[in-house]
Structure 1
Amino acid sequence: MTFDKTESLIRDAITDQAARAVDPEAVLRELRRGSGARRGSRQAVLVFAAAAVVIAVVSAVVVPGLVRSDRPPAGTPDIAAAMADQTILVLGRDEFGYTDVVMLTRLTATGLTAISIPRDVFVDIPGHGPGRVNIAYARGRWAAEQRGQDAAASTKAGVETAMATVRSLAGVPIDHYAVIDMAAVPTMVDAVGGVEVCLRAATSDRYSGADFNAGRQTLSGAQALAFVRQRRSLPNGDLDRVKRQQAFFTALTAKVVAKGDLSAMVGVVRDHVVTDLDLVDLAQRASERTVRMGVIPVDGQIETPAVSALGVTGDKVRSYVGGMFNGPDQTGGGGTQDPPCVD
């Protein structure tokens, strides 16, 4: 897919306009409330630890060897030991190349820590100037395409730009990456026979294609994609979309595990995941470790001539990341449960 700069600018303008309808204080309250460590079942751990990557991670656990990889060939000595104490940047990209899921994950011998970075956080993108964090990958990739680089090289350039951006923001080195296409969602959902979600109220949105009744319902693949993408017509915009994604991926994980026969997903996972690490090994070992979850602290909504975004203070972010990555592990536990009702 070729990244079109004009189309991306139009999309940004529409997104910015929609964002202005969101109550920033409600968003900030929820972000602060969710910034501490959380505990949950091992299946929930995989969902949060991988975020959008669940469509690859969960499948890879059950159907090994499906993920396209840029990692070194087999035979590297002591792979498990080499993967200890690694920091991994997880990106969930849409069809425009925007990374609407940005998660910094730290895997150690005893635990896994996953820190979400809200997509609207305003950052400096090395070599490309200021902008929201979700455009860093797209800018790096577009610049490479303009230089005539092929798809693989352009993707790598986008990843490197995103890694440099998050590295500067968080103040920690990043060892590996995993990039997931959200376009895989419909096929994954259809392969497991649909996924159940619950809505507090009926909603519709012509931009995402969402048209849902209130209550529990089973979504088809196309409906699921609309469900996780909708943010217009929701009380708190992008914040409610994040909650939807968490509820959806939790339900998808349970369905994937229950299904057992995942042969239909082999091609989907292979075609929609790019990483330089062994994602199968990551998922398997993550399920055996204690987990902590968090969201970086944000200061408030800011307005610039070009964009509406969330402001952050570098020292606060770096202090938070350092504390989360170096703090004590939390124990997990619990079982599965029905997906919660969301807006």
Structure 2
Amino acid sequence: MVAALLKVGRPPRDQVVFVCDTTELAVAAADLVKLIFGQNNLTSELCALLLPSNQFQHVARSNQKPDRYPERLSAPCKGKIKQAYGFAYARAKDKLAAAGVKDPLELDQRARDAGRLAESNTVAKFLGNVPVDHFVEVTLAAFFQIAQAVQPITVCLNENTSDSYSGANFKKGTQQIDAAQAMAFVRQRRDPDQPLFTDLDRTRRQQAFIVSLLRQLQDGGTLSSPSKLRALLDIAKQNTAISKDLDPLAFAQRASGLFDQGASLYTLPVKDFGTDDAGESINIVDTDEIRGIVRRLLGTGDGGATATTTPPPTTTGIPAAAGVVLDVVNGSGKNGLAAQVQEALAPRGFTRGATSTGTLRDATTLSYGVGAESAATALAAQLGLTATPSSAVEEQTVRLTLGADTTSGPIANLLADQTDPTTTVTKTPTPTTSTTPPAPVSATAPGANAPAATDLSQMDTGGVPCVR
């Protein structure tokens, strides 16, 4: 599941959202032989990072387009959220191989791009259609490399703990650990002497480690020194993947300043533990409760709603769309889809243009004529596409050509979220029910007050957090 939300400062409603994941990857290092690593090197942990957009206007590289990955899951499926990556990866790899792609490295990279897109879309949908601006993937190899560069790292535990699976063996209290111990610290998910130790405690361990690591880097001057920060990023760059439009150095410099203003890390609650049809362990969540928590953290209201007949608000409007015509061509093979998509995009601010049926195609495209670049680029970012200039499109016009891939992804989500066009949603107070977002408990509380798996927990970034 998406276990963690990290919210920096007190951001306004307009925010930049990152999806970040850590992946299991074997590390070829002599001093790590005794550590146990997963071999599937796919998604292990997921988080969403919420940052104020007014502080992150200059962290994107202006000379590159954002990543847009054509492969998507062909249809909704049921499973663990993190499995979206693996499902899309396998499907894309088979499809690319069938299309004649033979180079193993190209096959793997393009299939991973498909997995990253599917993971981002899945997280966005799960959290209540929160737009995702960037994707960051960090392998445990990169994690280890960074830990090596800055060791020893100061951490704190509320109890003695040990675990033969991860190699964890730590005493109660504040202590310094090396890189190998750091891997055990963030990977421990069980303790024979603490039967209530769960995956959620591992998530809080990882949060505490990140806080301690950032504090150490900041106190040592690394985060304020471009040369030191660049050297640290260079160490791990071979084992990370980020959106091509994101400048990691500019992002790290800006983010370090925001941590001084205060940040909170939240661990989302689960309702129960169980197994799926394949016998795999799963965490069972209340989706409505999760989305209520996210809405509250994003400052978008309490989620209560009643239908009225007032005109719908243009909450997803694109300022640059004013005066720009939107034409929609249906190449998906599904009757009436062009009109449905144009109706769904009406609140963006475009002038309705023509809807038509085109030749069948696999991939959706977005092109634009002279004068429509800004509007086209903004719409493309919302739909997970790349905006392409075209002399075949009239001035001040954007042309959206739908393909068979609209059965999933942002456009499918857009249509699924449409309500009766004669009604809109008006906020009303939410009654106290099982889906009312719970108040967070302290992630660092010890003993009987330690957070349970069913608790929403909050960790602040002052000092060295002490966790279970």
Q: Assess, with a 3 A threshold, how the Cα gap between structure 1 residues 212 and 315 changes in structure 2: closer, same or farther.
A: closer
Distance 1:204 1:102, change over 3 A: same
Residues in 1 aligned to 2:293 and 2:461: alpha-carbon distance in whole angstroms: 29
For residues 125-146 of structure 1, what are the alpha-carbon distances to aligned partners after superposition, in whole Å with 9 as ceiling and x for unaligned?
Answer: 8747222122322332233334
SS at match of 2:78: strand
Q: Aligned AA for 2:41? A: G
CA pair 126-226 structure 1, distance change in 2 beyond 3 A: farther
Residue 91 of structure 1, aligned match among 13, 17, 21: 21
Distance 1:271 1:327, change over 3 A: same
User: What are the superposed Cα offsets for residues 158-202 of structure 1, whole Å, 9 maximum, x if unpaired?
Assistant: 101101211221223323211111222222222123112223343
Q: Is the CA contact 1:92–1:181 (under 8 Å) kept in the aligned structure 2?
A: yes
Are residues 296 and 290 of structure 1, via their aligned partners in 2, closer, same or farther at CA, if it must alter by over 3 Å?
same
Closer, same or farther in 2 for the Cα pair 1:191/1:161, shift >3 Å? same
The aligned runs of 1:157-236 (5 Å cut-off) are 157-170=114-127, 171-233=129-191, 234=194, 235-236=196-197
CA shift digits 1:242-271 (9 cap, x unpaired): 222122122111222233464763432322
**In 1, Cα distance between the equivalents of 2:74 and 2:251?**
29
Change (3 A) 1:110 1:324: farther
Q: What is the identity, as a one-letter code, of the residue corresponding to 1:172? A: V
Query: For 1:335 and 1:236, how far apart are their aligned partners in 2?
Result: 23
Distance 1:201 1:128, change over 3 A: same
Deviations 1:207-258 (A, max 9, x none): 2122333433221111110111011215422122122212212211122223
Distance 2:111 2:174 in 1: 42
Counterpart selection for 1:300 from 267, 272, 287: 272
- SS of the aligned residue for 2:166 comes to coil
SS in 2 for 1:178: strand
Evaluate the alpha carbon distance shift between residue 218 and residue 316 of structure 1 in structure 2; reply closer, same or farther with a 3 A threshold. Answer: closer
Given that 2:142 and 2:239 are in contact with CA atoms closer than 8 Å, whether structure 1 keeps it comes out as yes
Q: Secondary structure at the residue paired with 1:92?
A: strand
Contact 1:97 1:137 in 2 (8 A): no
Q: Distance in 2 between matches of 1:201 and 1:274?
A: 35
Which of 136, 142, 147 aligns to 2:90? It is 142
CA distance in 1, matches of 2:288, 2:74: 18
Question: Comparing both chains, which one has the higher relative contact order based on Cα–Cα distances under 8 Å and sequence gaps of 6 or more?
Answer: 1
1:64-103 paired onto structure 2 within 5 Å? 85-95=15-25, 96-103=40-47
Contact 1:198–1:214, Cα closer than 8 Å, also in 2:
yes
Report the count of equivalent residues. 250
Give the distance between the partners of 2:16 and 2:467, measured in 1 at CA.
34
1:281 matched to 2:250: yes
Unaligned runs of 5+ in 2: 26-39, 57-72, 98-105, 223-227, 302-459
Q: What secondary structure does 2:82 align onto?
A: helix
Give SS of 1:129's match. coil
3-state SS, counterpart of residue 207 of structure 1: coil
Give me the whole-angstrom Cα distance separating, in 2, the residues matched to 1:236 and 1:105: 25
Q: CA deviation at 1:290?
A: 7.0
Whether the 8 Å contact between 1:186 and 1:220 is mirrored in structure 2 is no
Larger Rg: 2
Q: What whole-Å deviation, never above 9, does each CA across 1:6-60 have from its counterpart, x for those lacking one? A: xxxxxxxxxxxxxxxxxxxxxxxxx9xx99x98xxxxxx49xx9xxxxxxxxxxx
- Structure 2 CA distance for partners of 1:167 and 1:151, relative to 1, 3 Å: same
1:72 alignment counterpart: none
Q: Distance in 2 between the 1:218 and 1:293 partners? A: 22
Report the CA distance shift for 1:111/1:209 in structure 2 as closer, same or farther (over 3 A): same
Structure 1: distance between partners of 2:221 and 2:41: 32
The code of the aligned residue for 1:273 comes to: T
Of residues 105, 116, 120, the one that matches 2:49 is: 105
- Scaled by the length of structure 2, what TM-score is found? 0.46
| Aligned counterpart, 2:218 | 257
RMSD: 3.5
Q: 1:110 to 1:295 in 2, by over 3 A?
A: farther
Match of 1:341 in 2: 466
Q: Which runs of 5+ in 1 are unaligned?
A: 1-30, 39-44, 50-83, 113-124, 329-333
Aligned sequence identity (%): 28
Paired residue type of 1:310: N
Which structure carries more helix by proportion?
Answer: 1
User: Greater shift after overlay, 310-319 or 218-227?
Assistant: 310-319
